[in-house]
Amino acid sequence: MDRRQFLKIAGFSIAGFILDPSLDIRPKGLFANTAKQKITSYIRKWGMAINLDACAKKPGCRACIDACNIVHNVPGLGSPKEEVKWIWKSPYPTVFPEHIHIINREEIKNLPVMVLCNHCDNPPCVKVCPTKATWKREDGIVMMDYHRCIGCRYCMAACPYGARSFNWFDPRLFLKTVYQDFPTRTKGVVEKCNFCEERLIRGLLPACVEVCKENALIFGDLAAIDSDVRKILKQRHSIVRKPHLGTEPKVFYIL
């Protein structure tokens, strides 16, 4: 499935869902329990492939980071101690400590690698949350409910990838502009990448993917055999972060 097809189907599914009253997908009563109802019987599995070589073509590029920060109102605190990060760069040896043998491709050794929430199949952060403020959706997205988070930071201790950030201060104090289609967070809650869940439902690709001119980020449905992401993962060699932990990340790195 190419991008256009993806957008079309996603767009149609939401549009049909809203417009066509004959589709038997809406709650029966005013507040019928909708938890078990699915938008379609087909369940997607969102995933991302990151092409390290393509990303490295433009050193210093931070288009994806900026785009993400803007559309999610991620504050720029400028202090490494309290920083909030959804997607960011980290040197290759820190991302793949188990892949740092001395004889390594020169250009890979010092490569900055994009890191974000891995939306694991077995997310350790979900297991430890004492309020179910974070959970795994059927489509593979590890979601956060900022309304419910008590800020115990157990999930931060449990995440093997350092993908979770805590709001040590009121994030609004550090936002220059507020993007109005997405809420900000409040102090005292944990946050992280949501695979642009709010854009997927509108048939849009994640902001970081859409903005990347190098096509270094490939996003799509891992359950669909002909999706872009499945295709590239089939053709090229890919690795994931800390596979020995059994978390089964859904962000793949193409070497």
Per-residue three-class SS string for 182-215: CCCCCCCCEECCCCCHHHHCCCCCCHHHHHCCCC
| 95 in contact with another protein (CB under 8 A) | yes
Of positions 150, 226, 236, 248, contacts another protein by CB under 8 A: 150
Give whichever of 76 and 97 is closer to another protein, judged by the CB atom: 97
Of positions 63, 99, 146, 240, contacts another protein by CB under 8 A: 146
Residues in the chain, how many?
A: 255
Least Å distance, CB 12 to another protein, is: 15
What type of residue sits at position 120?
C
Least Å distance, CB 234 to another protein, is: 29
Alpha helices in the chain (DSSP H): 3-19, 52-56, 63-71, 92-95, 106-109, 124-128, 154-158, 197-200, 207-211, 228-235
| 37 in contact with another protein (CB under 8 A) | yes
Q: Which region, judged by CB under 8 A, interacts with another protein, from 41-49, 52-60, 184-192, 216-224?
A: 184-192
Residue the block writes with tokens 């980071």:
65
Give whichever of 121 and 168 is closer to another protein, judged by the CB atom: 168
Give whichever of 73 and 227 is closer to another protein, judged by the CB atom: 73
Asked whether the beta carbons of 203 and 10 are under 8 A apart, the reply is yes
Tokens standing for residue 63: 């288009």
Residue the block writes with tokens 């991620």:
74
| 201 in contact with another protein (CB under 8 A) | yes
Of positions 9, 62, 121, 186, contacts another protein by CB under 8 A: 186
Least Å distance, CB 143 to another protein, is: 7
Distance between first and last Cα of the chain: 23
Contact string 104-143 vs another protein (x = CB under 8 A): -----------x--------x--xxxxxxx-x-x-----x
**CA gap 94, 38 in Å, rounded:** 39
| 16 in contact with another protein (CB under 8 A) | no
Separation of CA 230 from chain center: 17
* CA 192 vs CA 106, 167, 204, 214: distances in Å: 32, 11, 19, 24
Task: Give the number of residues in contact with another protein, rule: CB under 8 A.
Answer: 80
Of positions 105, 109, 187, 213, contacts another protein by CB under 8 A: 187
| 158 in contact with another protein (CB under 8 A) | yes
Site for another protein in 230-249 (CB under 8 A): 245-247
